[in-house]
Amino acid sequence: MENALGIWGSQAIMMAITASFTVLGIGMLLAATMMKRRWKPSYMVEFVFIGIMLGLAWYGDFTSTKTYAAYQQDLNAEEKMVSGNYDGKGEEAFDSVVTVITFQWGFGFINEEEEISRNALVVNAGETVLLKILSNDVIHGFNIPVAQITAEIDPDDKRELWIRAPDEPGKYLIQCVNYCGIGHSQMKAWLVVVDGDDDENEGEGH
């Protein structure tokens, strides 16, 4: 399924860089303790190493900012947005718009027809969905693993996320990932993906 953040490509590179660093570090440690050969690196080696890390920091910032900005480009610009400088496409650009209310302890989903579901976000397969998320009481988290997106919502704030629904109809987990009190473990809901052509399936979530 297409990743909402669209970061699979760059994310894979970042994972590879991280893994290489681990392998390099552990490999050098093993060599230093196991190998017979001895080596006293010059300061130049360290400076080159610092240079590589500065380059990696630049590359990480460049890539992360690019992917995240590309994701946010697609959000519409609401006057309440904190930074307020997204030039998104507006709500019309999305196939559907859902208001999400997070509370201790659960989610409420309100669709464009003002229908409220306590624990099912019903969407059509493959469509793009704009989620306008509010918190009623404390800081909550919002995570849809299948859409590969996580956000944190505080009570003074208002967040917008968008996802592309999976093509495969079915039930996918939505969960709170920020500890929000004793009922945090139960704070779950379902992303119910229905076949877009078959309207009878709508609202089947439970």
Total count of residues recorded for the chain: 206
Q: Shortest distance, CB of residue 146 to another protein, whole angstroms?
A: 9
Binding mask 24-53 for another protein (x = CB under 8 A): -xx-xx-xxx----xxxx-x--x--xx--x
Beta bridge partners of 168: none
Nearer to another protein, 121 or 124 (CB): 121
Nearer to another protein, 110 or 149 (CB): 149
Q: Shortest distance, CB of residue 74 to another protein, whole angstroms?
A: 14
Nearer to another protein, 17 or 116 (CB): 17
Nearer to another protein, 40 or 113 (CB): 40
Degrees (nearest 5) of the Cα angle 108, 111, 114?
Answer: 95
CA distance linking residue 38 with residue 46, whole number of Å: 17
Q: Shortest distance, CB of residue 197 to another protein, whole angstroms?
A: 29
CA distance linking residue 151 with residue 142, whole number of Å: 5
The verdict on whether omega for the bond into residue 105 sits within 30 degrees of 0, i.e. cis, is yes
Near another protein in 145-184, by CB under 8 A: 145, 148-159, 173, 175-184
Near another protein in 109-138, by CB under 8 A: 137-138
CA distance linking residue 80 with residue 133, whole number of Å: 12
Q: Shortest distance, CB of residue 175 to another protein, whole angstroms?
A: 5
Of residues 45, 31, 117, 11, the one with CA closest to residue 53: 45
CA distance linking residue 193 with residue 168, whole number of Å: 7
Q: Shortest distance, CB of residue 25 to another protein, whole angstroms?
A: 3
Residue entry with tokens 């006293």? 40
CA distance linking residue 74 with residue 69, whole number of Å: 9
Nearer to another protein, 55 or 90 (CB): 55
Near another protein in 56-95, by CB under 8 A: 56-57, 60-61, 63-65, 67-68, 71, 81-83, 85
